[in-house]
Amino acid sequence: MLTNAKKEFIEFMMSADVLRFGEFKTKSGRLSPYFVNTGNYRTGEQISKLGEFYAACIKETLGEDFDAMFGPAYKGIPLVTSAAGALAREYGINKPYFFNRKEAKDHGEGGSLVGYQPKDGDRVIIIEDVITAGTAVRETVPVLKAAAEVGVTDMFISVNRCEVGQNPGKTAVMEVKDEFGITVHAIVTAEDIHEYLQGKPEYENVLKLMEDYMAKYCVF
């Protein structure tokens, strides 16, 4: 159901040119009529507001029931930083955050993780932008498990595209749950975006393309 909060987030993404319509090739090689590029957030106000949307989703879902927040390089880095700041600022939930380097550093403090160093038994949540095929999660979990015996229970993303993953009939989100036991929480879903566009005559063509794409690739 398209709530006011979801509608506000969709309009926020559109105003920042993060949610775009056209023809885009996704990481999975599919030609999509819409694309979410969090790399297009460019201002302090935008990244601050984005953190508030993530923080609200985390607060509503988990409250304080986790130990640390992880943002996978590269796009996850500003997302986890902003979300951690917003949680502290808006709700008084002060949690450590960390992220990884693409290449391990062999000087200074060394290692591939920056910020909080996870400990055995920590419950870690992942902050990401979108899931299309689940590739990024498969790269991220081994990084975390190599650092400590952590539990990775939940992941927060901007948009769940609801697309089939590597197995017919299952979305990437379902696969991530089956494979890693991680529950993915999205601020909005492809269905929410579709419902939002239904009320906008200027997006009639996009709506048709989106419906065709969803019929082909999405599982609800």
Q: Which residues are catalytic?
A: 105, 107
Closest CA to 212 of 195, 194, 196, 200: 194
Look up residue 26 and give its two tokens: 């996704």
User: What Rg do the C-alpha atoms of the chain give, in angstroms?
Assistant: 17
Torsion of CA 109, 111, 115, 120, to 10 degrees: -120
d(CA 19, CA 14): 5
β partners of residue 159: 130, 188
Sign of the C-alpha dihedral computed for residues 53, 79, 125 and 218 taken in this order: positive
Closest CA to 210 of 57, 87, 92, 34: 34
CB burial string 35-72: b at 16+ within 10 A, e below: bbbbeebeeeebbebbbbbbbbbbeeebeeebbbbbbb
